[in-house]
Each structure stands twice: as structure tokens, then as C-alpha cells.
Amino acid sequence: METSGLGYRRPKPNQEDTMALILTSNSFTEGATLGMDHILSADYGFGCGGGNKSPHLAWSGVPEGTRSFAVSCFDPDAPTGSGFWHWVVVNIPAGTTELKLDAGNPKSGLLPTGALQTRTDFGAPGYGGPCPPEGHGPHRYVFTLFAVKQDALPVNADTSAAIVGFQLHFNTIEKATLTGKFQR
């Protein structure tokens, strides 16, 4: 099934009544600037002073056959040649419909039982907020929800985002995105 960048599924012929997978947040809206609560904290040494809390995310319109979910946050504008992975969570149980504010903090205990955070480009599992270089212009932070056809992907906490992405490529039924922005 085809998806647009906003998380709305374009129906195939004879599927006009099918509900689309939709990702929303009460922390930010599509295209809005992310609040300082979600920006990288000074602890990381990149020059930002935010709260480093992952935003609230909620979803609806779950496709048939979904056995788990995954969530990622990716900055395609990072000056790395390959973007930057800020958050990767897999094996979120199928009955889940939201991730609470700060669920990406490994010490918060807010992720659903069974969910697994994997290594980001910061080198460790857990949410790492935006902190683009000063004067680099606005960066996009694309939060993607994946409806997965497996209960659990064959990955662990040290698995890279690229390998998780490879697994998701072959196991995703549908996905939806929500993009926030930030610049310094």
C-alpha cells in the first residue's frame, strides 16, 4: 500500500473505505518547530540546552495483520552524508496506541513492556533530541511509525539503525510520518 509523507495511505482500487494509518502528537503538529523540551540537553556537549524528552506520539487506523510497531526519528538534513538517527524503538506490542512524553528516556520506564530501544547515531539506545549546527538552517526531524507483520524483529539494543531499517523494509505493512523542525 502506498503512503504519502503525511502518513495517509492512498487507497488502491476498491479500498476507498480502508482507514489510513495516522501518526499524531500532542507535543507538536506536522511541520511545526519542536519545543525546547524535545531538544538535546547540554549533557551531550553539542551546545544545546533542551530537555531531551521524546515527544508524545499517538496513532490510529492500524492495518490488519499488524503484530507490532516500530518508531524512529531521523534527521535527513544532518551534515553527515547519511542523515542522523535520533531514536529507534522496535517490538512495540500491537495493542499499543501511543508512546508517552519522555518514553525514549531509558530510565523513565515509560515504554510498553516488550518494546526495545536500539542504538542511535549518538552510540546508545534511547532518544537523543535535535541539535543541528548553528547557522545550518532548519532541519527536519521525521518521526515514522511502522506497522510491522512480526511480533519481534531479530535485533538487540546494540543493533544499528541501518540494520533495523533493513529488517523493517521487509516486515512493514504500512507506515506513517510526522515531521517537526528545529534550527539554531
Query: Which of 6-10, 26-30, 109-113 is predicted least confidently?
Result: 6-10
The structure's pTM equals: 0.90
Tens digit of pLDDT for each residue in 50-65?
Answer: 999 999 999 999 999 9
Residue 14: Cβ-neighbour burial (10 angstroms; 0-12, 13-18, 19+): exposed
Q: What is the DSSP string of 134-172?
A: TTS--EEEEEEEEEESSSS-S--TT--HHHHHHHHHHHE
Confidence of residue 28 (pLDDT cuts 50, 70, 90): very high
Domains of the chain, CATH where assigned: 2-182 (3.90.280.10)
Kindly report which listed range (17-26, 71-80, 118-127) carries the lowest average pLDDT score: 17-26
